[in-house]
Amino acid sequence: MKRHIHSTTLLATIIALGLQTPAARAQEHGETPQASAATRTANTHVAERLPLADRGDFDAAERGLIARDPALVIKDSDGQPIWDMTAYDFIEGDAPATVNPSLWRQAKLNDLHGLYKVTDRVYQLRGYDLSNMSLIEGDSGWIVVDPLTTAETAAAAWQMAKAHIIGDKPIVAVIFTHSHIDHFGGIEGVLSPEQARRDNVRIIAPKGFMQESTSENLLAGPAMGRRATYMFGGALARDARGHVDSGLGKAPSKGHFSILAPTDTIDHTGQTLTVDGVDFDFQYTPESEAPAELTFYLPQFKAFCGAEIVSHTLHNVYTLRGAKVRDALKWSDYIDEALQRYGQRAEVVFNSHHWPVWGHDEIVDYLKVQRDTYKYIHDQTLRLANAGYTPREIAEQLTLPESLAKPFHNRGYYGTVSHDAKAVYQWYFGWFDGNPAHLNPLPPSESARKYVEFMGGTDAVVAKARQSFNAGDYRWTAEVLNHVVFAEPNNDAARQLLANTYDQLGYQAESGPWRDIYLTGAKELRDGAMGTSLDMSRGIGLLRQVPIARFFDAMAARLNGPEAAKGDLTINFDFTDLGQNHVLAIENGVLHHWQRPIADDANATVHLTHPALLALIGGKLSPKQLKVDGDRASLGRFFSLLQVPDRDFAIVTP
Ligand SMILES: [Zn+2]
């Protein structure tokens, strides 16, 4: 029974929300191939085309350095490293043949960590997590902007700041720029809920922040968590044939995370606040990079914080771990709005990831290029779609004009033009491209068997695929061998050759996530599925804030429909500490829930507390320990109908 309630749904949700991935395991490199001749040529071509020797970004990324920990390793209370910048010490000099030189350059920039002065009274801690913590000095205390992903990394960053700039001044306010966990999860590393209450610390966040941060991705968490392992290369070694960078930063941090409810909500552009003598002019930018987001301008310091609507990478209109598609047009419009409102006045732009941009002309140019990229991808995708092209055709032919493709801050280190164009198509047209052959095709294994048979059988296909591999035609080789592996998952020759093919695709990728997805696919073809590591206790501070109804929504999405359809069932969940009851009813194989008085005709009534529900979900409490009125067997049936998500589900095999 415990097995069934142990909610990997939520645990994996934590992973998806928290971008958590398992600890890197030492990779067995015995069979990992070197870069092929074709890959060497492709990567050499990249190096020749781009001005990699340009030091502009390196100068900006090092500007204002106050202090740096020469060996930055952050450990949790068990002594386990949860952030280790020394793992990236191998990233130096020219790119090895196994890494795209442009990604290598970005990896070097993201390796630079420390405490930096941005401008008077504005500082940043960079390289302590995937994201940045920014600090603004008020008249009597400090305003913390985006306290990283986990308490451990936030505390370490704060210690660094304390040693050099903070002094004895307290935290007077916190700003959460948006609802993604890498911008709020570490709050308890700098400020406890008790301290926040006692000192009346202002918590400023965009409208919708709590709802989005606690509920976004809850339902789809397990699959997102599994896929996040691919996207962030959590199972890959940190070396020249493994993970080198995520494009947006090094990687997600591990550790404990929580949240604090806002005291001040930003719900419109032009809203102003004065916090401890610091004037803020906010821009409200929801439903773009995040469902709830804000940016702000500091007129006294001529500094614009672009949160994450701008960065030093082309961002994701679609996130490859799986996510709802984002609105590229709105996103572009917000950047334009920021440019119009603040562009003429700002002397520095600092963001939630990467290093700042200084100088009026540079800022105007930077914002224009970022703005126009999302709009170009948006408009041109629609132009091509309206000319009859379908997603793969559009992604193949859509390239940015030179003026947008060249600036490094705009290159596809995280998002790519290819998958962002497909995202725009999806935003308007959904999954169906209109071609009848794609309306109801056979499922992968079945079509794979037929493809392989039609192409002359396994051996013939593998032999031909080997020729394609030798010719460096990796995208085609992958497509063909994927059919063989799905037709014959135990065919070692096909698996090995497909793994080698993914390696080469990974070695050539400019995008960190593309590289990690290919290399993780290769690893799992060789070693089997790695799965996602789950530790519920890391996120208890966040889970406490999740509205109870959302847990029942997640339960409904785990209900085994065919089994549930065999008989209706009604259960009361009576929360004695909250004084509220939720009626859960299964009808027609569907789980409904309503907050309403106890249903007298229910099969059973569970009396529990909010913490008990969390313990139940975390597997720390068995349903057998619950206080129940009525038919206990019915409650047993209810829990048995909740399917445990598969943390290791197959991706590169059927
Ligand atoms: Zn972020």
Q: Is 434 left (phi over 0), alpha (psi -120 to 50) or beta?
A: left
Ligand 1 centroid to Cα of residue 53, in Å, is 28
Ligand 1 centroid to Cα of residue 15, in Å, is 15
Q: Which residues are CB-neighbours of 167 under 8 A, at least 6 positions away?
A: none
CA quadruple 475, 477, 480, 482: dihedral sign: negative
Ligand 1 centroid to Cα of residue 54, in Å, is 26
Ligand 1 centroid to Cα of residue 441, in Å, is 37
Ligand 1 centroid to Cα of residue 392, in Å, is 28
Q: Give the helix/strand (H/E) hosting 527.
A: helix 512-527
Across 368-377, b (16+ Cβ under 10 Å) vs e yields: bbbbbbbbbb
Ligand 1 centroid to Cα of residue 188, in Å, is 18
Ligand 1 centroid to Cα of residue 205, in Å, is 15
Q: Is the pLDDT of residue 328 over 60?
A: yes
Ligand 1 centroid to Cα of residue 149, in Å, is 9
Ligand 1 centroid to Cα of residue 355, in Å, is 13
Mean pLDDT is lowest, of 87-96, 117-126, 534-543, for 534-543
Q: DSSP 3-state assignment of 369?
A: helix
Ligand 1 centroid to Cα of residue 148, in Å, is 9
Instruction: Round to the nearest angstrom and report the end-to-end CA distance of the chain.
Output: 29
Q: What are the Cα distances from residue 406, in Å, to 50, 329, 366, 402, 409?
A: 8, 22, 12, 6, 9
Mean residue pLDDT of the chain comes to: 93
33 vs 418: which has the higher pLDDT? 418
Ligand 1 centroid to Cα of residue 59, in Å, is 23
> What's the confidence (pLDDT) of residue 29?
41
Ligand 1 centroid to Cα of residue 352, in Å, is 6
Distance CA 160, CA 125 (A): 8
CA quadruple 432, 373, 253, 523: dihedral sign: positive
pTM of the model: 0.95
How does DSSP classify residue 163?
Answer: I
Ligand 1 centroid to Cα of residue 244, in Å, is 18
Ligand 1 centroid to Cα of residue 179, in Å, is 9
Hey, which bits of 148-299 come out as E strands?
Answer: 171-175, 202-206, 264-266, 272-275, 278-284, 294-298
Ligand 1 centroid to Cα of residue 183, in Å, is 6
Sequence-ordered alpha helix ranges (H) in 528-631: 540-543, 548-556, 561-564, 610-617
Ligand 1 centroid to Cα of residue 287, in Å, is 14
Ligand 1 centroid to Cα of residue 221, in Å, is 18
Distance CA 501, CA 620 (A): 44
Q: DSSP 3-state assignment of 280?
A: strand
Ligand 1 centroid to Cα of residue 252, in Å, is 10
Ligand 1 centroid to Cα of residue 55, in Å, is 25
Q: How many CA atoms lie within 13 A of 408 on its CB side?
A: 26
Q: Is the pLDDT of residue 5 over 50?
A: no
User: Of all residues in the chain, what percent carry a pLDDT higher than 90?
Assistant: 90
- Using the structure block, give the residue that is written with the tokens 């929504």: 553
The pLDDT tens digits for 622-646 are 999 999 999 999 999 999 999 999 9
> What's the confidence (pLDDT) of residue 215?
83
> What's the confidence (pLDDT) of residue 16?
42
Q: Is the pLDDT of residue 74 over 70?
A: yes
Q: Is 249 exposed, middle or buried (0-12, 13-18, 19+ CB in 10 A)?
A: buried
Distance of CA 41 to the CA centre of its chain: 32
Radius of gyration of the CA atoms of the chain, in A = 26
Distance CA 279, CA 264 (A): 15
Q: What angle do CA 170, 206, 249 make, to 5 degrees?
A: 75
Ligand 1 centroid to Cα of residue 167, in Å, is 28
Q: What angle do CA 512, 518, 523 make, to 5 degrees?
A: 120
The pLDDT tens digits for 504-519 are 999 999 999 999 999 9
The pLDDT tens digits for 427-459 are 999 999 999 999 999 999 999 999 999 999 999
Q: How many residues are there in the chain?
A: 654
Distance CA 2, CA 143 (A): 44
The pLDDT tens digits for 182-236 are 999 999 999 999 999 999 999 999 999 999 998 877 889 889 999 999 999 999 9
Q: Is the pLDDT of residue 52 over 90?
A: yes
Ligand 1 centroid to Cα of residue 182, in Å, is 5
Ligand 1 centroid to Cα of residue 180, in Å, is 6
Q: Is the pLDDT of residue 23 over 70?
A: no
φ, ψ for residue 545, nearest 5 deg: -90, -5
Ligand 1 centroid to Cα of residue 255, in Å, is 16
Distance CA 498, CA 485 (A): 8
Q: Encode 416-445 in three state secondary structure.
A: CHHHHHHHHHHHHHCCCCCCHHHCCCCCHH
Ligand 1 centroid to Cα of residue 37, in Å, is 36
Q: Is the pLDDT of residue 19 over 80?
A: no
Distance CA 204, CA 210 (A): 11
Q: DSSP 3-state assignment of 277?
A: coil
Ligand 1 centroid to Cα of residue 311, in Å, is 10
- What tokens were used for 235? 């199972």
Give the residue among 605, 608, 602 at the shortest CA–CA distance from 622.
608
How does DSSP classify residue 169?
Answer: P
Q: At 262, which amino acid appears?
A: P
User: What is the mean pLDDT of the segment spanning 276-284?
Assistant: 98
Ligand 1 centroid to Cα of residue 314, in Å, is 13
Ligand 1 centroid to Cα of residue 40, in Å, is 32
The pLDDT tens digits for 95-139 are 999 999 999 999 999 999 999 999 999 999 999 999 999 999 999
Ligand 1 centroid to Cα of residue 213, in Å, is 12
516 and 478 in contact (C-beta within 8 Å)? no
Ligand 1 centroid to Cα of residue 162, in Å, is 24
